[in-house]
Amino acid sequence: MSSVLDKILCVKLNAAWQPIKVRSVRDAFTDLTSMTPGEEQLAVLEHRAPRPAALAIDLSFGLNADGTVNYDDPLCTVPTKWEDWINLPIRDYDLTVTTSHGEVRVPTMLIASNYRDMPEKEYKPNRRTIRDRDKGICQVTRRFIGDKGNLGHIIPRDRGGKLTFENIAWMDPEVNTRMGNRTPDEAGMPLIRKPYAPKPVPLMVAIARDGAKHPSWQWVIKDLV
């Protein structure tokens, strides 16, 4: 059970039904059973019952002609409170966990109770983001090297070069070794493009680019890339 609880299988939507966060199953259960800070006091002022931080979306899917689940177009999408969620029937395509309430469906999609904003994804320089920015191409030889490159510092580290987007390029390891303690220009190996920091993107776009961690996400991310 613990392995399922710690898997990223849930996507959280804002109140406009746009993806804003990915969640582990454990975190999803926490969202469903807790309230946002200050919600109790606000509920008293507004003379209403407190709302949970999120609702789970009860997704139902039909079958394709070959008997597989058609995740592209859900038959229904019903926001559901935790106390109702734990009583939903288990279907053949559901993942489950064992709780004090018995077998409970794993929620794969949540909706925030009262959040409409769209946060942005701020990228940090690392192997993946540098490789993706440079499209897996060595920035000296112009050859596609995919995952086999490494981080080439423009200003070498022992000369004060930092791990920043502007100071790092994706390079063939042999090229990087030959460059040694020199800049690309000093080594006679100029870059094909000046390194730059990727612009932040709406988080829903970043989630879509990373791909669905569960097939039930597909209908909310398929048109975002």
The count of other CB atoms within 10 Å of the CB of residue 120 is 14
**Higher pLDDT pick, 24 / 113:** 24
pLDDT at 86 over 50: yes
Name the percent of the chain lying above pLDDT 70: 92
**Higher pLDDT pick, 8 / 50:** 8
- Residue 29 phi/psi, 5° resolution? -60, -35
How is residue 197 written in tokens? 């920091």
Mean predicted lDDT score pLDDT of the chain: 90
Whole-number pLDDT of residue 38: 64
pLDDT tens across 137-183, in order?
A: 999 999 999 999 999 999 999 999 999 999 999 999 999 999 999 99
Which of 188, 186, 192 minimizes the C-alpha distance to 171?
192
Whole-number pLDDT of residue 47: 64
Whole-number pLDDT of residue 140: 96
Whole-number pLDDT of residue 40: 64
Sketch out the chain's domains with CATH numbers. Answer: 2-120+202-221 (no CATH), 123-199 (1.10.30)
Instruction: For residue 41, count CB atoms less than 10 angstroms from its CB and return exposed for 0-12, middle for 13-18, buried for 19 or more.
Output: exposed
Whole-number pLDDT of residue 116: 82
3-state SS assignment for residue 133: helix
Band the pLDDT of 99: cuts 50, 70, 90: confident
**Residue environment code for 61-85, b if the CB has 16+ CB neighbours within 10 A, otherwise e:** beeeeeeeeebeebeeeebbebeeb
pLDDT tens across 143-153, in order?
A: 999 999 999 99
**Mean pLDDT within 48-54:** 77
Residue matched to tokens 């070498």: 156
pLDDT at 204 over 50: yes
Band the pLDDT of 95: cuts 50, 70, 90: very high
Whole-number pLDDT of residue 46: 66
pLDDT tens across 107-136, in order?
A: 999 999 878 888 888 889 999 999 999 999
Band the pLDDT of 1: cuts 50, 70, 90: very low
